[in-house]
A and B are shown apart, each in its own frame.
Chain A
């Protein structure tokens, strides 16, 4: 597709459930990023992939969060045993490369997760 596509756009789940959020980056973009954004805040970095490998996962808040990108394109963010504090908009972004002058991250519209 032309832009970064994220599904689902909205997800409501119960505390303790497992959730998967999907990101389809712009074709040909090797770098993929996951961010989390709470109301009134800027995006909070979670994890960055260069190709298939997670180049930096230092932003993942705990081991309930995991992300994969097995073929270097689509990525899935997985959250186990969801908690109410996980409620946020999860943003995915991609860029052509992950190098130092690659400021141009293209964002998807986000997946809004609500944990009841």
Chain B
């Protein structure tokens, strides 16, 4: 099945830096979601986006639903050590609302 193209695959930054990751699809989506997964845990929803152009913040996290409806990005500002984990994008294609399609994840490391 389709998978989302998520990049970068991994990144390692200094504490306090900002970080950005993005996801692209080959088809139009009507929902974009960003999850964080810690080792041994299930994914936890960070931000949900439902409208093209929508920009939503959750604390230091900001995500946007791309105007073309084929992409989304997640920004983390002023990173801290507890931001370490794997970030997944997920979305639903227009016309197929039940199934979430997932990216392969971005592994984030933060150097204190």
Bitwise, B79-112 to A at CB < 8 A (1) or not (0) is 0000000001010100001111011110000000
Interface of B, helix, strand, loop or mixed by DSSP: loop
Which A residues are CB-close (under 8 A) to B42? 4, 91, 93, 107-110
Main secondary structure of the interface of A (DSSP, over half): loop
Interface contact B102-A100, CB-CB below 8 Å? no
Q: Are A45 and B48 in contact (CB under 8 A)?
A: no
Using known A-B contacts A42-B103, A100-B30, determine if residue A105 contacts B88 with beta carbons closer than 8 Å. no
User: Which residues in window 35-63 of B have CB below 8 A to A?
Assistant: 40-45, 48, 50
CB of B20 closer than 8 Å to a CB of A: no
Could you tell me which B residues sit within 8 Å of A by CB distance? 1, 3, 30-31, 33, 40-45, 48, 50, 88, 90, 92, 97-100, 102-105
